Structure 1
Amino acid sequence: MQHDVRLRAAARAIYEACYPGEEWAPVDFEEAERCGTVHYRQAVGAAIEARAALNEPLQPELFSAH
């Protein structure tokens, strides 16, 4: 993932938002990435899902007033 700078940045943002301190995750993003912790893998998975969602075409019915 180090070659995909935007995906890594998204994973870092998700990691830091979801695990803001030691009470949530025992290590910072770089250490979690190096060790492949479950927290890191969850953040990467969320980044991949977010990228897919953001790349989908907008569906007008989602924005219509009901």
Structure 2
Amino acid sequence: MQHDLRLRAAARAIYDACYPSDDWARFGFDEAERYGTVEYRQAVDAAQQARCVLAARGEQLTLSVLP
């Protein structure tokens, strides 16, 4: 994921929204990424799923606009 900056940013946004403090997760995003925590893997999975949904929506919208 180091090469996909948009996916990483999405995973960070999801991670920060789901685990906003130390009460929710032991590590911040960067440390969780380094250690490959369950919370980090869940955030990455959610980002990948969101990317698929958003890409499909974008393609459908683009196709429906064309004459």
TM-score of the superposition, structure 2-length normalised?
0.84
Q: Does 1:30 align with 2:13?
A: no
Q: Does 1:43 align with 2:43?
A: yes
Q: Which amino acid aligns with 2:14?
A: I
CA RMSD of aligned residues (A): 1.5
| Higher percent of residues as helix | 2
TM-score of the superposition, structure 1-length normalised?
0.86
Residue by residue, what CA displacement relative to the aligned partner does 1:14-57 show, whole Å, maximum 9, x if unpaired?
00000000000000000000000000000000000000000014
Q: Which ranges in structure 1 are unaligned for 5 or more consecutive residues?
A: 61-66
Identity %: 65
Q: Does 1:55 align with 2:67?
A: no
Looking at structure 1, the residues matched to 3 and 56 of structure 2 have their Cα atoms a distance apart, in angstroms, of: 23
Q: Which runs of 4+ in 1 moved over 4 A?
A: none
Give the number of equivalent residue pairs: 60
Q: Which amino acid aligns with 2:13?
A: A
Q: Could you tell me which residue of structure 1 aligns to residue 21 of structure 2?
A: 21
Q: Which ranges in structure 2 are unaligned for 5 or more consecutive residues?
A: 62-67
Q: Could you tell me which residue of structure 2 aligns to residue 63 of structure 1?
A: none
